[in-house]
Amino acid sequence: MNVLEQINAEMAEAVARAQRSLVQISNGRHGQGAGVLWRPDGLIVTNAHVVRRQALQVTLADGCTLPARVLASDPGSDLAALCVAAHGLHAIEPRRAWPLRPGQWVLALGHPWGVTGAATAGIVIGLGKPPEMPRFPGELLQVSLHLRPGHSGGPLVDEHGHLVGLNMMMAGPDVGLAIPLPVVKNFLQKTLRVDGIEFAHDRGRP
């Protein structure tokens, strides 16, 4: 196997690994966006703008569709947490080394224009406050890849398929924005005390 074949195989494997944690979020009529399984007990993270509608449904990677309930939402940081009544799911593995460096490869997963489980690749431009969003409360990952409707809330992963952020929006030609992993972790710890409780479904079924 030559170097190019090896790189292709490794990237495809990273996508396949992350796809197991990718979900589609809809309001029962048409797709609204994507999300990612944070824990095996049905905890999902996504963008707040993906869950504005009621009667949410989540379709897992195996095609199973379940009703979902919003646990927390912060429009300011564009983050939301949902839960579904399921266990033993394939949770995403977060990247341990941080921060990312400019030039590192990343892949965005989602369902752009209804294409289920699609992937697109690019490199990290930088981490900071983009001039297009001066009021955003924090830094964003700026990446050189195309995010389309249906990518929102899906995982941005590294070359191993490990989560580095959540896809958010396009900021201009060939520039996408993603919410960095530390910001996602902060949101979950603040709103749901993710390190201190089991979400399970003792708060009621979705």
Per-residue pLDDT, 32: 76
**Could you report the per-residue pLDDT of 19-50, keeping only the tens digit for each?**
999 999 997 666 679 999 999 999 999 999 99
Residue with the bigger pLDDT between 5 and 165: it is 165
* pTM value surpassing 0.75: yes
Residue 12 and residue 67 in one domain: yes
203 occurs within a structural domain: no
pLDDT in tens, 112-161: 988 899 999 999 999 998 777 888 888 999 999 989 889 999 999 999 99
The 8 Å CB, 24+ separation contacts for 131-137 are 132/171, 132/172, 132/177, 133/171, 133/177, 136/77, 137/76, 137/77
What was the pLDDT predicted at 54? Answer: 73
137 and 167 part of one domain:
yes
Tokens 């990312």 locate to 100
Q: Flag whether pLDDT at 88 surpasses 50.
A: yes
Q: If you average pLDDT over residues 3-7, what whole number do you get?
A: 87
| Catalytic (active-site) positions | 49, 78, 152
Q: How far apart are CA 183 and CA 203, in angstroms?
A: 25
Q: For position 63, which CATH number holds?
A: 2.40.10.10
Please state, for a pLDDT cut of 90, what percent of the chain lies above it.
69
**86 plus 138 within the same structural domain:** no
Specify whether 7 is located in the same domain as 86. yes
Q: What is the pLDDT of residue 196?
A: 44
pLDDT greater than 80 at residue 205: no
pLDDT of residue 203: 39
Q: Please report which residue ranges of the chain form alpha helices under DSSP H.
A: 3-19, 181-192
Q: Say how many domains are in the chain.
A: 2
201 belongs to a structural domain: no
Q: What type of residue sits at position 149?
A: P
Q: Both 23 and 84 in a single domain?
A: yes
Q: Are residues 125 and 86 in the same domain?
A: no
- Domain encompassing residue 156: 105-184
Q: Per the domain annotation, does 204 fall within a domain?
A: no
Q: Is residue 123 part of a domain?
A: yes
Helices (H), 20-166: none
Residue 100 lies in a domain: no
Q: For 61-80, what is each residue's pLDDT tens digit?
A: 999 999 999 999 999 999 99
Q: 5: which DSSP letter? A: H
At 31 the pLDDT is 60
Cα gap 85→149, rounded to integer Å: 27
Q: Which of 181, 190, 195 is nearest to 71 (CA)?
A: 190
Average pLDDT across the chain, whole number:
89
